Amino acid sequence: NKGAVSLMDYKLLETATKNFQESNVLGEGGFGCVYKARLDDNFYVAVKRLDGGSDGSQDAITEFETEVDLLGKIQHPNIISLLGYSIHGETRLLVYELMHNGSLETQLHGPSHGSALTWHRRMKIALDMARGLEYLHEHCNPPVIHRDLKSSNVLLDSNFNAKLSDFGLAITDGTQNKKNIKLSGTLGYVAPEYLLDGKLTDKSDVYAFGVVLLELLLGRKPVEKLAPAQCQSIVTWAMPQLTDRSKLPNIVDPVIKDRMDLKHLYQVAAVAVLCVQPEPSYRP
Ligand code: ACK
């Protein structure tokens, strides 16, 4: 029974949360570690642990709640299954189906450099992602915008079936609230019209999907991570024009502009530069 943790689910969940060991870490995400845990003799799950108490814990709690609310209601072969969750003091646990081949990002850019990803598998991953997105945009009521689609949020099972994960930033609001929400996403995947004008639609996910398609095709990220020194020089170049908020009438939506902290201004600066100087053939 998805959406609520039944007694049986609760018992299983308890088993899983007692059975995971620090040594069984699968990887680290934005808000905590993901562990492999044994549910019973031959059934394993993935447990994501969010520890509270640190800076940004309110964001972590909000993301936890969004994930539980949304994934609790969603069931689709190309969306990760949330099997249960628990809140114990400051510690929050999310229990998912185990995806044996980890994330698309690690498969593509990790030590194996995509060697397991034949063209046939890459095509199938693209199709699986499209099916997951189509479900979110066209068949969920209200429609869901993922808002943080990227290769690290695409997980692969033992047969390399792809499932979308990490719904902490997803939104389901209709159209009216989209300009009031905090600007979020990952640099390199964020649609320019969302970043620069705050215009968020399901097409923002489609842009990010395009970036992942390029990753599948090129075997590398179309927009490389900027080195701190590069960021610094971009920001130094852009900040004089951006620090005075009143001088930005057409670049950023007024509501977003008021809510933006310096971190977001830096993002806008960095992306403004990336938009001015794109590598033409890599633009989605
Ligand atoms: O790329 P990875 O090996 O796959 O490392 C990341 C890490 O945890 C942080 O997100 C892995 N991960 C996340 N969710 C799952 C899951 N349900 N099954 C298996 N691995 C997962 C992800």
CA distances from 18 to 11, 12, 55, 72, 281 (A): 11, 10, 27, 22, 50
Residue 103 beta carbon below 6 angstroms from any ligand 1 atom: yes
ipTM value of the model? 0.98
Q: Is the pLDDT higher at 268 or at 89? A: 89
The model's confidence at residue 11, banded by pLDDT at 50, 70 and 90, is low
Residue 284 beta carbon below 6 angstroms from any ligand 1 atom: no
Ligand 1 atom closest to Cα of 26? 8
Does 37 score more than 60 pLDDT? yes
Tokens for 103, please give them. 């994330």
Q: Is 9 a catalytic residue?
A: no
The model's confidence at residue 46, banded by pLDDT at 50, 70 and 90, is very high
Which pLDDT tens digit goes with each residue over 82-133? 988 888 778 888 999 999 999 999 999 999 999 999 999 999 999 999 999 9
Q: Is 247 annotated as a binding residue?
A: no
Residue among 148, 166, 205, 253 flagged as catalytic: 148
Residue of the CA atom closest to atom 4 of ligand 1: 102
Q: Is the pLDDT higher at 222 or at 153? A: 153
Q: Which one-letter DSSP state was computed for residue 182?
A: P
DSSP string, 14-70: HHHHHH--GGGEEEEETTEEEEEEEEETTEEEEEEEEE-SSTTHHHHHHHHHHHHHH
Name the phi and psi angles at 91, rounded to 5.
Answer: -95, 130
Residue 30 beta carbon below 6 angstroms from any ligand 1 atom: no
Q: How far is the CA of 207 from the centre of ligand 1 (A)?
A: 23
Query: In the chain, where does DSSP find H-type helix?
Result: 7-19, 57-71, 104-109, 119-134, 192-197, 202-218, 228-242, 254-259, 262-276
Residue of the CA atom closest to atom 8 of ligand 1: 27
Contacts of residue 181, defined as CB under 8 A and 6 or more positions apart, other chains included, come to: 171, 173, 200
Does 30 score more than 80 pLDDT? no
Cβ-contact 162, 231 below 8 angstroms? no
Which pLDDT tens digit goes with each residue over 165-192? 999 999 986 544 455 566 677 777 888 7
Residue 50 beta carbon below 6 angstroms from any ligand 1 atom: no
